[in-house]
Chain A
Amino acid sequence: MPLVLNEEQNMLKDAAKDFCGKSTPITELRKLRDDKDETGFSRDIWQQMVELGWAGITIPEDFGGLGFGYLGMGVVMEECGRTLTASPLMSTAVLGSSAILSGASDEQKAELLPALAGGELLTALALEETPHHSPYNISTTAEKSGDGYKLNGSKKFVLDGHVADQLVVVARSSGTAGDRDGLSLFLVAADSDGISTTRTIMADSRNAANIELSNVQAPATALLGAEGKGADVLDKVLDVGRIVLSAEMLGGLQEAFERTLEYLKVREQFGVPIGSFQALKHRAAEMFCEIELSKSVVLEALSALDEDSDEVPKLASLAKARLTDTYNLVSSEAIQMHGGIGMTDEHEIGFFMKRARVCEHSFGNAAYHRNRYGELEGY
């Protein structure tokens, strides 16, 4: 699987870099935060992203998308990661699209994918029920009711759950919490009766919500994939999410590292640049190594998605575990090496640590993915 970008992908990356640098620098995120913006991202910027085709990067051309694949999505998310850009790309263009691509019927695809690519539809994945990623640990129930289902339960940390038009709800139609079997996925309108949404304001100034489902009525046509076999779709969607989020993290950690490196060269103490101190040099060089390794695993994992390789689950865990550790390391060292100024809200470097930790807990932390990698290797 290729570990270098082709010309088209490089062009997309340059365009994304340009767009994010001009339109969504970190000052934009700060403004959304300070204004207590209701949406949590700029609809105007989102519209521009849609016009650039980003909402449909992974959607085939037949359905109105760009058909650029996951390497394409990855380079865009990497650039968004550098500027900590808040947008519905992850919830809608990554998780929503892949849930529909891998779980939906042909009719559902024909109806939903063009709307997704056109930016008319925002989705959110209503999965987690505890503060820890645990995808099969689902207690939300889906009981047969009439010719549809009745959903009951409560969901946490639903990315963009406060603005989504449609929710992909992971519920249990049989079995008990922890079982892989018996999960079912439903696509339900967010304004359905019985859904109540509480927006959660998070440290990274990005968007999530808690969602209560109380006797929510879902027709049989709302099923994504087969009843009881939802995990087949969910596993795929989560691996896509893990890998693309790793690409975002790669952007963020490189930006934090480059800013820190620059500071090491300009900040003087004891009459010399602090970057001349070996205690800092060696730590910087070690971070550089971890970053080089991180780039490789992200590229390989994105390529594996494009090739629909059997290696996807292992590479998703490899990428998410490594990028979690590296982003945490780099964002923590970034603050330490900035000294007092790194602790201030006014300086932007602290934003990276906040983002790193929320990313850590999105779709499984490093320990979760090491365990999974070991299981996939058979021990």
Chain B
Amino acid sequence: MAALDDFRKDTRAWLDENCPASMRTPMTEGETVSGGSKHRSPNPDSYVWLDRMAEKGWTVPAWPKEYGGGGLHTDEFVVLLEEMARIQARSPLEGMGVTMIGPTLLEYGSEEQKQRHLTKIVNGEIRWCQGYSEPGAGSDLAGLATKAEDKGDHFLVNGSKIWTSGAQFADWIFCLVRTEPQAPKHEGISFVLFSMDSPGISIKPIKLISGASPFCETFFDDVKAPKEDLVHKVNQGWTVAKRLLQHERSGLRALASAGASRTAATQTTTSLADVAKETIGMVDNHLANPVLRDSIIQYRMNANAFSLTQRRTVEESEAGSTPGAATSIFKFYGADLRKEQLELQLKARGTQSFGWEGDGFTAEELNLTRTWLASRAGSIAGGTNEVQLNILAKRVLGLPD
């Protein structure tokens, strides 16, 4: 306990000294740093902050020190996040490097692969994208058809991916390819890494209902993927792929952040009630619209129960191991909660929440319109909610196929 108190004191002092003032303001869309050089934050402080945090390994606080991580225990990690939350410090580095491929390489990468890739993730040097989904393989991911032929020192990749988030900004891709067409579908897949600058790759951005184009179609035409970046064993990529999805859906990082926001969590969404007070008004100390009031309260209670459950999981996994299949509830329930939160914002604000652009709306209102539309992806991306329920039923409840 005393050691943890010391850690908190040191951390607080270090953050006070090293976190630039502009990094203690709410994140703005364009200033998120996900690594690499193809998309830069316009704010130079973003990189001062990134470099200082990376030097301590605190862009990935729980990774082992030998690969550039912070080597923190879960309880220290939570303290760090609490202290960051206290000064409203931004996350210095986001993206699929720190959240998905990094943790996966730590488990399945060869020593040589870890040495070559991990520090570049920690420093934010390289941005990654995820080549999983294909036009014919979404929920049935193992039905993927992108072909990789063994050419001795490399695989020759042909086919296409779709919904590749950030492909236009990524330096590298982690990609599922079919290396054995005759085998049962789960047993002919390999997990490979290659540069997005390889000859034969082309991309085409796709526009979302929110108007943004965060993802692309990605085409491979005789792309050479060197064998040194085959992760784990050939035709055993499915095991790696599933593990990565667990990190994506509910990695320790996400849980620990939730744990840290234990008090903040109840505050951030108060804005929903504040908005409603303003737009709907109060009668006898109650929101004037009783139906909306009940929905808001129900949402608030569910959100509270949800964050308590995340905190409980953190406390239970004190040992620091990444929780397994039971954490599917977070992806599933969290996506629904977020959608509900935004739908309630619309109900509270009425027609002011449907502004698309131009005059007549505040910047916050215009932003809400887009955020609401984007929120629908939560129950689709990374495995749909129906697929999450399938996984829960099978892996956690043990129900038969």
Q: Which residues of A approach B to under 8 Å, CB–CB?
A: 2-4, 261, 264-265, 272-273, 275-276, 278, 280-282, 284-286, 288-289, 292-297, 299-300, 318, 321-322, 367, 370-371, 373-375, 377-379
Contact = CB atoms under 8 A, between A and B. Distances in A.
A280 B276 CA distance: 38
A298 B299 CA distance: 18
Contact of A281 (B270, B311, B329, B399): B399
Interface stretch (B5-13, B133-141, B285-293): B285-293
A348 B160 CA distance: 55
B294 interface: yes
B324 to A, nearest CB: 14
Contacts of B277: 379
Contact of B305 (A286, A318, A375): A318
Interface in B142-173: none
23 contacts: A2-B315, A3-B311, A4-B312, A273-B400, A276-B399, A281-B390, A284-B397, A284-B399, A285-B388, A288-B397, A292-B326, A292-B329, A295-B309, A367-B294, A370-B301, A373-B301, A374-B287, A374-B293, A374-B294, A375-B285, A377-B273, A379-B287, A379-B296
B320 to A, nearest CB: 15
A144 B317 CA distance: 59
B298 A370 contact: yes
A251 to B, nearest CB: 17
Contacts of A281: 389-390, 393-394, 397, 399
Nearest to B273: A379
Given A318-B301, A379-B285, A379-B287, 11 more contacts: A3-B312, A3-B315, A4-B315, A265-B398, A275-B399, A276-B401, A282-B386, A322-B301, A370-B294, A373-B301, A377-B270
B206 interface: no
Given A4-B312, A293-B302, A285 B400 contact: no
Interface residue tally of chain B, by bracket?
35 or more
Interface of B: 270, 273, 276-277, 282, 285-287, 293-294, 296-298, 300-302, 304-306, 308-309, 311-312, 315-316, 326, 329, 332-333, 386, 388-390, 392-394, 396-401
Contacts of A265: 398-400
Given A281-B399, A293-B302, A288 B392 contact: yes
A281 B304 CA distance: 26
Given A4-B315, A281-B399, A379-B276, A297 B305 contact: yes
Nearest to B312: A3
Q: Which of A272, A285, A294, A300 counts the most chain B CB atoms within 10 A? A: A285
Contact of A3 (B286, B308, B388, B393): B308
B42 to A, nearest CB: 38
A276 B312 contact: no
B390 A289 contact: no
Contacts of A296: 305, 308-309, 311-312
